[in-house]
Structure 1
């Protein structure tokens, strides 16, 4: 009789063991309205990176729309962990474990889901569901001082957001399309260029379209050697080509604008001018002239201030 009892006991252990395994792997989650994994795509397009951005500086961000209209993505009947993990770029940068190095030297990436930065893990109660009314996003960060690398970011799955221990229940963020890093090869020696024109009197002007008191100035650049430089001027037009309207203010003059020239050539607003190539040391001065320009038949005295934005392109 003893052998029979031993066999019965062993059989009981096997049955209990099989039951325990079956209970552990049983599904605890179910899909929501979409009925499947949602894959959301982002792209950054062409990304200009200024050489004089400091390390750690924000470059740009890209966002998805609302995931599945903000509806439930999945629900789990047992307690679970909501996790976000990086997939494509996984090497942590020197700025911490939420900013990862990309395939382009000096460019990092941080991935966000609402207030959560990847990676993260959050405990969720039984019967809790996941929805994403806020978009997923990714941010590019400058990791290095000075210049960064150039080229296309590797595309693919950036991150998974899933249920643990049921990882097939997830939503995915992917990087697709064009994502080209374009480092800018020059640094402005002075962030703001102030030009003070000499005082003028009404008798300096001879009628609409006449000018007075030209003042030369330069924009000083430090560039990579042999960099080709182009410049365009943006601002509020006073009407005639290259004439900037005065900034509104107390005691402002009227009938006057400020015109910008390169030599004898008027710098038309929004159009690029070629300024040649930086020397072997990388230094370049962009020589320009500002002058008063009479825009109306009658002039009233007052202050004559204006602002403009210079946009430079390099290759």
Structure 2
């Protein structure tokens, strides 16, 4: 008698460290057709839903979720586990039984977003083209582990204090002031990727413009990473990369006022900078 089977994976969470070719999850069924005898048969199985072969080979086929493949075996009493699809002519009389199927989800490439696999008939098997067993996918959702870190504060404050305009004009800049960005509990991340958005100064586009009513003119804010000692330029899409730590770690930055023109106009000297944080 036919042996319908169904497998359910639920949510499959993909470790960030999972290598291409690794088995992400596996489910097996135990249904049976009962025993039968075949004379000079052809053992057959076919794929119903996912039929695009993966470059990995080894009977792996791509699913509708990029980076996730499927590998299906049917279990025969006489031959053991046989991968689908299959077409094998047998030149003798055999007694056999189909005893279920196994379905593996395989990582075939980068899994950027994950998603839900299509459901329905995965594959069928039997002898001489007759469908004696099949396996259906009931549900499977792929969720890659996301790299994350905890930022202990949403704000980094640089108190540059009051600066005499004559002294600023004489030196061309104020003293550096440092402040930390404290990062901890990084999971599945090795690197922080930071970019800095803000209004660029009109006279010195590599500096951050002072903003607010009555803001000082002829001066802007210079921002640098202390560890890398590189300038942090407004709206530069090129991220700086800093190590991601599991324990609490201070990534130090420094800021100062810098003269941008020969005419200094006193006033409030504040700048707002948005830090965009990504992970790798």
The equivalent of 2:143 in structure 1 is 182
The equivalent of 1:121 in structure 2 is 87
Choose which of 103, 108, 124 in structure 2 pairs with 1:143: 108
Contact 1:81 1:124 survives alignment (8 Å): yes
Choose which of 114, 121, 124 in structure 2 pairs with 1:157: 121
> In structure 2, do the counterparts of structure 1 residues 104 and 127 end up closer, same or farther at CA, with 3 Å as the change threshold?
same
Q: CA deviation at 1:117?
A: 1.4
The equivalent of 1:173 in structure 2 is 135
Q: CA deviation at 1:124?
A: 3.1
Q: CA deviation at 1:130?
A: 3.1
Choose which of 14, 25, 42 in structure 2 pairs with 1:49: 14
Q: CA deviation at 1:171?
A: 1.0
- Superposed CA deviations along residues 200-256 of structure 1, whole A, max 9, x for unmatched, are xxxxxxxxxxxxxxxxxx654427989xxxxxxxxxxxxxxxxxxxxxxxxxxxxxx
Contact 2:192 2:244 survives alignment (8 Å): no
1:207-226 equivalences in 2 (<5 Å): 220-221=186-187, 222=189
Measure, in 1, the Cα distance between the counterparts of 2:240 and 2:5: 47
Contact 2:15 2:144 survives alignment (8 Å): yes
Q: Mark the runs of 5 or more structure 1 residues left unpaired by the alignment.
A: 1-35, 189-217, 227-278, 289-315
> In structure 2, do the counterparts of structure 1 residues 51 and 282 end up closer, same or farther at CA, with 3 Å as the change threshold?
farther
Structural RMSD (CA): 3.3
> In structure 2, do the counterparts of structure 1 residues 160 and 169 end up closer, same or farther at CA, with 3 Å as the change threshold?
closer
Measure, in 2, the Cα distance between the counterparts of 1:150 and 1:282: 27
The equivalent of 1:58 in structure 2 is 23
Higher helix share: 1
Choose which of 25, 40, 45 in structure 2 pairs with 1:84: 45
The equivalent of 1:193 in structure 2 is none
Q: Mark the runs of 5 or more structure 2 residues left unpaired by the alignment.
A: 75-79, 150-183, 194-238, 249-280
Measure, in 2, the Cα distance between the counterparts of 1:121 and 1:88: 18
Measure, in 2, the Cα distance between the counterparts of 1:40 and 1:282: 50
The equivalent of 1:102 in structure 2 is 63
Contact 1:187 1:223 survives alignment (8 Å): no
